[in-house]
Amino acid sequence: MRWFVGLLSSALAVASAQPALAQAASVSAALPVEPIPTVTALPAQWPRSWVLINDFNFNSIVDGRVVVVDTASANQPLKGIVRSAQFGNSLISTRRGELLTAETFYSRLTRGTRTDAITFWKLGDLQPGGEVVLPGGKRQLSVTYPQLFQFTNAEKWALVANFTPAQTVSVVDLDGRKVLGEVDLPGCSQIYPTGARGFSSFCADGSLYSVTLDAAGKVSGTATIKAVQDIDNQALFSTPAWIGQTAWFVGQRGLIQGFDFSGPFAKVIPGAFSVGTADGAAPEWRPGGWQVINADTAGHLYVLMNPAGHEGGHKDGGTEVWVFDPAHKTRIARIPLKAQSLALAVTHEDVPHLVLARADGVIDIYDAASGAFVRTLGATVAFNPIVITPVP
């Protein structure tokens, strides 16, 4: 009898639910079928509120990525993701309509046959459009530095840093999709595009080494400037702020030094100056972070500063951004930050924004002119944001 009562109750429950089920089915049937996968095209010309963020993805380094982020969007800032394998580097070319990644793979994910490659991604849909395999398995694998992968020759060639541990640079013809050659370096690292066709590198003895390349990508000339930095007492952060072909570097104790890379060989800009000091230090203000200095289109420099600066703390990040006019060698603003930040960049908008990657992965946006806090994008676009590249 009990089973009959239970069956009757179930039948009544199902019967009473029929109108609701019918209504739900009607609503469901009215919804359009969503295709899988769903891909939204990106604009051919990316807005200047957009930036690229290299996500080192520390918890799964073999799965690094480059994310495309709209800093002006409060509710949907993530516009796209491009794979950059492990220890990847990226370049964007609006002229070529491409995003390029230099990346490394192993046939068994973490072991097996190694392949280094440059991959071409179309800006409109972020789909791969070809690759150039780099020979020798020697691409430098390190935490992302922008100066390990750079354009030269009006973006027709790319330069790739190698480390075996001998240091060399591969010259790659992007239009012809082939490697042109390899340049040996005398104990030097990083790539700073120099002149129409060439590059410069900092060397372990504190010198600066410049290379010019001929039309075939071979070395046609070299030059060395001795003692451009004091490695022991005022080592320069290797990622500069670029204003045209002038690169402004900041030292670990606050020296700002400019270099002119417009000619065939690099030149030191006379008149280095200090970031100075300010109240609130414990024990002293020093630059700190990973991407420490950047510039706006008006020629102002933005430097991440840490009030707890100390020997060995140059990667700790900063709690303020100090703004400088290099033409007059003066500080023109101090911008307090919501939290300690490791990387900064300034967008190329008419009204530029200051983009900060915090130590906890959060991306914060400030008004570059006033220093006012605008919005936070939260920790929603990248696990380990480490390098920010504004859309040119």
Fold designation for 36-390: Methylamine Dehydrogenase; Chain H (2.130.10)
Q: How far apart are CA 295 and CA 247, in angstroms?
A: 10
- The band of 33, judged by pLDDT with boundaries at 50, 70 and 90, is confident
List the beta bridge partners of residue 181.
171
How far apart (Å, rounded) are the C-alpha atoms in residues 79 and 46?
A: 11
pLDDT at 7 over 70: no
- The answer for 97, left when phi > 0, alpha when psi is -120 to 50, beta otherwise, is left
Which whole number is the average pLDDT over 84-96? 95
163 pLDDT more than 80: yes
Please give the single-letter amino acid code of residue 253. Answer: R
- The answer to whether the pTM exceeds 0.75 is yes
With cut-offs at 50, 70 and 90, classify the pLDDT of residue 28: low
* Token reading at 95: 């002229």
CB 86 within 8 A of CB 109: no
Backbone angle region of 374, left / alpha / beta, with phi > 0 → left and psi within -120 to 50 → alpha: alpha
Residue 219 has pLDDT above 80, yes or no: yes
Say what the pLDDT of residue 18 is.
52
More confident residue, 359 or 185: 185
What ranges make up the beta strands (E) of 251-360?
255-260, 267-268, 273-274, 286-287, 293-295, 301-306, 318-325, 330-346, 353-358
CA–CA separation, 150 vs 389, rounded Å?
A: 13
Residue-range domain boundaries for the chain: 36-390
Does pLDDT of 12 surpass 50? no
pLDDT in tens, 44-61: 899 999 999 999 999 899
Distance CA 213, CA 264 (A): 9
Residue 369 in tokens: 């002119």
